[in-house]
Structure 1
Amino acid sequence: MAPQPHIVIKPQANFRAFSPEKVFLSARPAATWGVFAGITALFVLSNVPLVKKDVLSNIPFVGRYWKVEESA
């Protein structure tokens, strides 16, 4: 009986060198960095009145903190 190889190469579907395994392995870090970048952008832009009025004041439960008083 012939010895079995230690590494078995199996064909795997891919699209432009991205296999499903690579995509799933990199999805969580990409999502983490995306959330971090979004929170950082909101923190940096939190003093801009338009961001306060349109974005931050519409967040459920904590939006009251950034409510902009309408001037008459």
Structure 2
Amino acid sequence: MRVQYRYSPSVFGFTPKLVARWVPIFGIWGGAVGLGALFFLEPIPRVRTDILQKVPVLGSYWVRSVDPNDVPF
């Protein structure tokens, strides 16, 4: 019986099969961390106006209107 060698490409020990198995898991965790950070940063006005108000259906939830009597200028 002869020993047959097969070439398995890898970069720093990561094979395509291993990467394909872990990409969906990291994608889910990355999305959860991103959403958590977005809602953690919600009180910052720049985040609220530039990101959260531009969400198609839910954007009006983050609109903060200031009463004209409360404006100092």
Provide the TM-score with structure 2 as the length reference: 0.76
1:38 lines up with 2:34 in the alignment: yes
Gaps of 5+ in 1: 3-7
Distance (Å, rounded) in 2 between the aligned partners of 1:47 and 1:38: 16
Residue 56 of structure 2: aligned partner: 60
Which structure exhibits the higher relative contact order, with contacts defined as CA atoms closer than 8 Å and separated by 6 or more residues?
1
Gaps of 5+ in 2: none
Deviation above 2 Å: which 4+ runs of structure 1?
A: 8-11, 68-72
Distance (Å, rounded) in 1 between the aligned partners of 2:25 and 2:6: 26
Distance (Å, rounded) in 2 between the aligned partners of 1:20 and 1:39: 28
Instruction: Please report the RMSD computed on the Cα atoms of aligned residues, expressed in angstroms.
Output: 2.2
Q: What letter matches 1:66 in structure 2?
A: W
